[in-house]
């Protein structure tokens, strides 16, 4: 597959993830009487990945996330030379989606504030849900561990010995579970592109805290990819003989 096709697929897939996932949080989460809430937003993020995994996953591998690209590289599934172009495509897709969300929101007469969680931004150290404020250390640990396990699911479900037909379902449900766990902690990142795109339109503290939502997911993904590679190395060596 041509690199241009792969990058287009990553752009489209990441656009859909941000537009669908963050869009559900921005427009539908708190609507009186019919708001979808935490469960609905969690499902929305999972469904974006599930649908795009089947739509364009066969073209680019369906990363839609810089952390996933780094994790697959650490796991020996992705070449280092493709990291930068993939990440650029993902950031562009996420940012364009955020711009569309912003235009629609402003068109509805809503102002985007700089409050924690505004415009589906990620945050730490702010008492937003249930009056609890999670420290930077707690947020970092949550984002790192959840991204690590996300890579476990991705690498396991797409392993040559797994039933690949259901990989998209497993990955989508894993992302849903991740959001159910961590929306009350950080508003859930596990994806630097998704975090960056929203923070760009809010600025202020969302931008100053962005470092955590790059470093923690990428570190977790690298650890997850590397560990999965190690624990399956015996199987790979056995099959080569």
Q: Are 72 and 61 in contact (CB under 8 A)?
A: yes
Residue 31: the pLDDT is: 83
Of 31-35, 143-147, 175-179, which range is least confident? 31-35
Residue 198: the pLDDT is: 97
Of 30-39, 126-135, 212-221, which range is least confident? 126-135
pLDDT at 231 over 80: yes
Instruction: Spell 45-69 as b/e; 16+ CB within 10 A means b.
Output: bbbbbbbbbeebbebbbbbbbbbbb
* pLDDT > 70: percent of the chain: 97
Q: Are 47 and 126 in contact (CB under 8 A)?
A: no
Average pLDDT, the chain: 93
The DSSP 8-state label assigned to residue 65 in this structure reads S
The DSSP 8-state label assigned to residue 203 in this structure reads -
Terminal-to-terminal C-alpha distance of the chain = 30
* pLDDT > 90: percent of the chain: 83
Q: Which residue has the higher pLDDT, 113 or 5?
A: 5
How many Å separate Cα 134 from the centre of its chain?
20
Residue 85: the pLDDT is: 98
The mean per-residue pLDDT over the stretch 133-138 comes to 95
pLDDT at 114 over 90: no
Tell me the domains of the chain and their CATH numbers. Answer: 3-233 (1.20.1080.10)
* Confidence tier at 60 by pLDDT (50, 70, 90): very high
pLDDT tens-place string over residues 150-201: 999 999 999 999 888 999 999 999 999 999 999 999 999 999 999 999 999 9
* Confidence tier at 240 by pLDDT (50, 70, 90): very low
* Confidence tier at 238 by pLDDT (50, 70, 90): very low
Residue 236: the pLDDT is: 53
* Confidence tier at 54 by pLDDT (50, 70, 90): very high
Q: Which helix (H) or strand (E) holds 159?
A: none
Residue 235: the pLDDT is: 67
């Amino acid at each position: 597959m041509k690199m241009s096709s792969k990058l287009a697929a990553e752009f489209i897939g990441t656009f859909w993830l941000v537009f669908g996932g963050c869009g559900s949080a921005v427009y539908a989460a708190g609507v009186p009487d019919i708001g979808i809430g935490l469960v609905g937003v969690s499902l929305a993020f999972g469904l974006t990945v599930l649908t795009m995994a089947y739509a364009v996953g066969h073209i680019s591998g369906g990363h839609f996330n810089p952390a996933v690209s780094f994790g697959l590289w650490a796991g020996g599934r992705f070449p280092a030379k493709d990291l930068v172009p993939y990440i650029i495509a993902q950031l562009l897709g996420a940012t364009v989606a955020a711009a569309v969300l912003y235009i629609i929101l402003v068109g509805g007469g809503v102002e985007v504030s700089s409050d924690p969680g505004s415009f589906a931004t990620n945050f730490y150290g702010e008492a937003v849900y249930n009056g609890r404020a999670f420290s930077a250390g707690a947020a970092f640990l949550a984002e790192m561990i959840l991204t690590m396990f996300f890579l476990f699911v991705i690498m396991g479900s797409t392993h040559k010995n797994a039933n690949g037909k259901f990989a998209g379902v497993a990955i989508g449900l894993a992302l849903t579970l991740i959001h159910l766990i961590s929306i009350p902690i950080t508003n859930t990142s596990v994806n630097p592109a998704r975090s960056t795109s929203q923070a760009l339109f809010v600025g202020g503290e969302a931008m100053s805290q962005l470092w955590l939502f790059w470093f923690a997911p990428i570190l977790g993904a690298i650890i997850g990819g590397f560990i999965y590679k190690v624990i399956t190395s015996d199987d790979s060596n056995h099959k080569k003989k």
